[in-house]
Structure 1
């Protein structure tokens, strides 16, 4: 459906070109100048001027003054009505004028020894097709847009060489140029249709419509050089426009899968656009066309531009894709300005306010396009840098820290830049539309001061966040604790930080509420823990075994890279109720100390038990003063029981 609407835009573009009346031939201008210099004609003109002055004077003195807008509207309505009547009256004269023009072109060619124009046209087309066939034999055709356009370029180049090498008769030259150009444009349209993903029924209808458009444009272009009156040329253009309108409506109804109500609405909209074009309101007509088809044209342009690059997310890809879309919008704006300039009798051009608003709107569109292109380039660079900064494996600590700082600051910079670009573009657009932005800026300043007094907490949060960033207090991905909040930093806004708790909940904490921040993921972590062993433990033996455990942990392929300082036993921390408390310490990378400690616990338990070092356990002493006697008796009973169990039965 989008392609149908794009087609309609091209159709009306050709009709608009047909309706532009070209300049009169030099021969007629010379004849007009000669008649104006004739004494009898000058005397008649003077008499008419003198007779018309008294009649006009009373009317001007007695008629009330009318507003300028009402006069402009009346003049425009009269001109539009007159033009429509002239076109309708000229339609019956089309066959005779076309036949006479064809005879003039034929006689102009045959009188100078050339073949008729249609024979020359057929010969040039055959020559171009021959050159295209030879190119196809020598070069393999590529199934890309450029590969399909290359044969058309060879076809056009071969015809252009012969056309410009021969001195054709004047009328034949103009006629051949118009129809050959239309034929080349038609072939280009066919290539684009074949390259696009379009269903066969729709492709056939679009081919027919482009053929009608090409023929209409060429016929309108040669009308005045061949002596066809401008009114008849306009009538021919209107007839072709009716044919194109009917074909477009038929294509909408036959190929669209939308509802009947939607099809009827599109058909009615096309009819309204055609009526606007008929009454010469070209600016309003093209605004309606852009609103209808420009989004689909931009999407198609972006897709075609993206097919020429491997990475659309790169700066080069963004520049090519967004630049192509910006170029299409700039061309559309330029064409709209040209159409407006070439139609000075348009109703809106007689009102200075409408003219200023129109040109201000065109400039505003270009400003917004430039702002969007700038924002997309900066946003693409920031997003790509953030993707790269997330991978910190196999990096030195300094490089990893720098990338973490990028992940922290770049999102804030992106948000601030988005606000800045939007505000600046909005102010420039308002200035182009005639709004005085000086008082607006001053009023915004006063309003900002009032808001500042009323939202001191918000200002405090924003300023606190700025200073946290300047101090590099924390970065994205680090684990921090502030007051009752702790978790991994996931992101920032202008006024708050988002913390993910290790159990899952997410805290959104304003910067002003953080206070002192405890960063647990910066540089290194010293992890200390204690183990209680029995009172009869050999402390020196435990120290040596701990040193051995630390060496084994550092040699481990998985754990070794997590150590900064190996596991060591600091010594006896205290004498507890049930044993001796030994203190251990190690230095690890941030965030991995818990994982390393669990591995160290398991290794120490295994080594201590295998070397006869028992861990202290809570015990209760029951008995009198003979503390060792009870224990000795119990031990003796256990040994006797074990000995009897080991003695074989007789």
Structure 2
């Protein structure tokens, strides 16, 4: 370790200071060019390292360096971090505005001084040059605009003839006629522009017949301004109502064409010709002054136009809202109609102030932002208008599709308007984002370009796609089930297919809604694990609190597995019987013979009796009198069956008559049984028809079907039947009669 007393030697101290200064001056070069490999540090560097490693020596060195600094010299303060607060930004902006306004005022003052100097004769050479420029420009203006005026008279006559021929024509013919008329107008513009160039070349101020720069400025301004006015005439067609494509009145077309043309001429000719000419001939301040005056005049005219059309625009927007039945967008249109003129005037005044403050940077920004906003609003209006027209026009499917899927059109009419409404609001949000991006209110594109923005945008798009796919899947599956259950096309569905397909549609819809919602929430960053856990806890609580519901579902599952009944079956469930109209996993809906609908939960079902499974039997149990001949009764029942086989029910009977004979003795009748095997559910109609035939044949064969009655008989002739007594009386009374 170095002795501390060594640093007190003045010669060594001077050496160290010289070494530090050299290192400081050579540090950039050392940073750019590293030392060669293997180069050993010299003795001075080693000595400095040893001094800096010792705390006492290092402290003494720092103290000597401070005493050696010049008096009054202080260490430089570290550079302050840039202040990005809103107050500082506002201060910077107001300072730039003040500086811009001061520059503009100085330009106006200089322009006035230069003009006064020219006309006072203090600068005769400049005045002579100015007069020469004025003569040449005057000749050019006279020739250019005079020829254009004469050519416009010819093109207007051509346009009137074209419009006369297009009266009452269709849209495409009118559009073609409008293009022809404007081509003639454009030809007159090009011819006048060419004549202007010829005049400029012959009256040029440059030697050798060359054209002056001011004449070139005028010709270029003429071409650009008149082409812009030609585009306005293409849209509004103020002179030719028969060629107009837009549904606007004649006076409105003339009004807007006049004022837009005047504003374009005022601003265009000033900025493209007058201001550059004054800047070159008089002074740059004169050109700036002309621009400022013209901008103030144009803004004043625009404010007057806004105030003149305040009520018309408000009524137009209110009418649009009424056509939309004052929905959400309609209410927004009403609010805009109430305050649109305030917003427009504020914008125009802001434009003027920005022009005064910073015409080089702020005005191009505002014009660009305005154009981008107008383009975004135009595109959004076209998309929203198309969506509204599509929804209002309705959705009509082809006839063959409606026959195959009769409920698809109704389902789409209920589904499409909702989706279109969501799309419409998405378009409106996109327009607002585009306007905010254009006016630099926020950097949405820059944010989306970042990792976080891409993640958020991707999550939102993924969630929207999941919801859309879920909706499409629901429509597809519901349409497929509807197609399979359609009895007019294809294979006739069985009752089991009807039941299972309806259960599948309901279960699929519930599962799709749950899983689609969960996946969509997961895409937007929602942690669905607590939701799943909460759903499990809630399900367990519901299971304990609603045991009947759980019992309904479990019993319904086993009933479906066992396939004991399906939709359309005639069943007896508990004390209710009827046709199964609807079968879910929890309950069964039955309509009885009187038309009453019974909803029976499966938890209250002890047994199910299905009367339509496989085949059915009509059991004919007929009571006859005790004195009837049983063989004759059987023969009569067989004859009734033979007649039944000749009716429309013959295809519904699947076996011969099963004659079982006498099955019991009642108080006043002998019961004879026979069975008819039929298709499932056909035994009721067949049994009714068979009973009618049996009744008729028994009457033909004089076979009595006993019924409760009272018969008076004489003592010795009392029999179990009163028929013999009647016959005896009839025989005795016969000769007398």
TM class, shorter-chain normalised?
0.5 to 0.7
Query: Relative to 1, partners in 2 of residues 1:617 and 1:483: Cα closer, same or farther, differing over 3 Å?
Result: closer
Equivalent residue number for residue 300 of structure 1: 389
Structure 1 residue 409 corresponds to structure 2 residue 504: yes
Alignment of 1:494-643 (within 5 A): 495-511=586-602, 514=605, 517-557=608-648, 559-560=649-650, 563-565=652-654, 568-577=657-666, 578-617=668-707, 629-631=717-719, 638-639=726-727, 641-643=729-731
> TM-score of the superposition, structure 1-length normalised?
0.59
How far the C-alpha of 1:115 sits from its partner, in A, is 2.9
Contact 2:620–2:675 (8 Å) recurs in 1 = yes
Structure 1 residue 448 corresponds to structure 2 residue 535: yes
How far the C-alpha of 1:455 sits from its partner, in A, is 1.5
Contact 1:525–1:589 (8 Å) recurs in 2 = yes
Contact 2:657–2:675 (8 Å) recurs in 1 = yes
**Secondary structure at 1:115 match in 2:** helix
Query: Relative to 1, partners in 2 of residues 1:579 and 1:213: Cα closer, same or farther, differing over 3 Å?
Result: farther
1:403-435: per-residue Cα shift (whole Å, max 9, x none)? 56434533443454445545544554xx1xxxx
Equivalent residue number for residue 340 of structure 1: 436
Q: Which runs of 5+ in 2 are unaligned?
A: 1-76, 101-136, 194-219, 272-290, 324-329, 351-368, 403-407
**Secondary structure at 1:631 match in 2:** coil
How far the C-alpha of 1:447 sits from its partner, in A, is 0.4
Structure 1 residue 119 corresponds to structure 2 residue 119: no
Equivalent residue number for residue 491 of structure 1: 582
How far the C-alpha of 1:391 sits from its partner, in A, is 5.4
How far the C-alpha of 1:448 sits from its partner, in A, is 1.2
1:6-34: per-residue Cα shift (whole Å, max 9, x none)? xxxxxxxxxxxxxxxxxxxxxxxxxxxxx
Mean CA deviation greater in 517-526 or 70-79: 70-79
**Secondary structure at 2:654 match in 1:** strand
Equivalent residue number for residue 478 of structure 1: 569
Query: Relative to 1, partners in 2 of residues 1:339 and 1:609: Cα closer, same or farther, differing over 3 Å?
Result: same
**Secondary structure at 2:691 match in 1:** helix
Contact 2:618–2:676 (8 Å) recurs in 1 = yes
Query: Relative to 1, partners in 2 of residues 1:71 and 1:526: Cα closer, same or farther, differing over 3 Å?
Result: farther
Query: Relative to 1, partners in 2 of residues 1:424 and 1:62: Cα closer, same or farther, differing over 3 Å?
Result: closer
Equivalent residue number for residue 150 of structure 1: 172
> d(CA) in 2 for partners of 1:179 and 1:290?
23
Mean CA deviation greater in 155-164 or 587-596: 155-164
Once superposed, what is the RMSD of the aligned Cα atoms? Answer: 6.4
How far the C-alpha of 1:367 sits from its partner, in A, is 7.3
Query: Relative to 1, partners in 2 of residues 1:343 and 1:629: Cα closer, same or farther, differing over 3 Å?
Result: same
Contact 1:480–1:489 (8 Å) recurs in 2 = yes
> d(CA) in 2 for partners of 1:515 and 1:125?
94
1:327-348: per-residue Cα shift (whole Å, max 9, x none)? 755654443332222111x279
**How many residues are aligned here?**
532
Contact 1:532–1:579 (8 Å) recurs in 2 = yes
> TM-score of the superposition, structure 2-length normalised?
0.53
> d(CA) in 2 for partners of 1:111 and 1:118?
11
How far the C-alpha of 1:574 sits from its partner, in A, is 1.6
* RCO comparison, higher one (Cα < 8 Å, 6+): 1
Query: Relative to 1, partners in 2 of residues 1:609 and 1:636: Cα closer, same or farther, differing over 3 Å?
Result: closer
Query: Relative to 1, partners in 2 of residues 1:286 and 1:174: Cα closer, same or farther, differing over 3 Å?
Result: closer
> d(CA) in 2 for partners of 1:236 and 1:598?
95
How far the C-alpha of 1:526 sits from its partner, in A, is 2.9
> d(CA) in 2 for partners of 1:367 and 1:380?
20
Alignment of 1:40-439 (within 5 A): 68=86, 111=144, 115=148, 119=152, 126=159, 130=162, 133=165, 149-155=171-177, 158=180, 168=190, 171=221, 174-175=224-225, 178-179=228-229, 181-182=231-232, 226-228=269-271, 240-251=305-316, 270-272=337-339, 275=342, 278=346, 298-304=387-393, 306=395, 313=409, 331-344=427-440, 346=441, 377-378=472-473, 381=476, 392=487, 402=497, 405-422=500-517, 424-425=519-520, 428=523, 431=524, 436-438=525-527
1:375-424: per-residue Cα shift (whole Å, max 9, x none)? 66555556656666665379866567545643453344345444554554
How far the C-alpha of 1:479 sits from its partner, in A, is 3.4
> d(CA) in 2 for partners of 1:77 and 1:476?
79
Query: Relative to 1, partners in 2 of residues 1:610 and 1:629: Cα closer, same or farther, differing over 3 Å?
Result: same
How far the C-alpha of 1:445 sits from its partner, in A, is 1.3
Query: Relative to 1, partners in 2 of residues 1:73 and 1:518: Cα closer, same or farther, differing over 3 Å?
Result: farther
**Secondary structure at 1:532 match in 2:** strand
Query: Relative to 1, partners in 2 of residues 1:371 and 1:619: Cα closer, same or farther, differing over 3 Å?
Result: same
Query: Relative to 1, partners in 2 of residues 1:114 and 1:407: Cα closer, same or farther, differing over 3 Å?
Result: farther
> d(CA) in 2 for partners of 1:468 and 1:107?
100
1:100-146: per-residue Cα shift (whole Å, max 9, x none)? xxxx9x9799649973599399659929x839946x89xxx7xxxxx
How far the C-alpha of 1:247 sits from its partner, in A, is 0.8
How far the C-alpha of 1:453 sits from its partner, in A, is 1.5
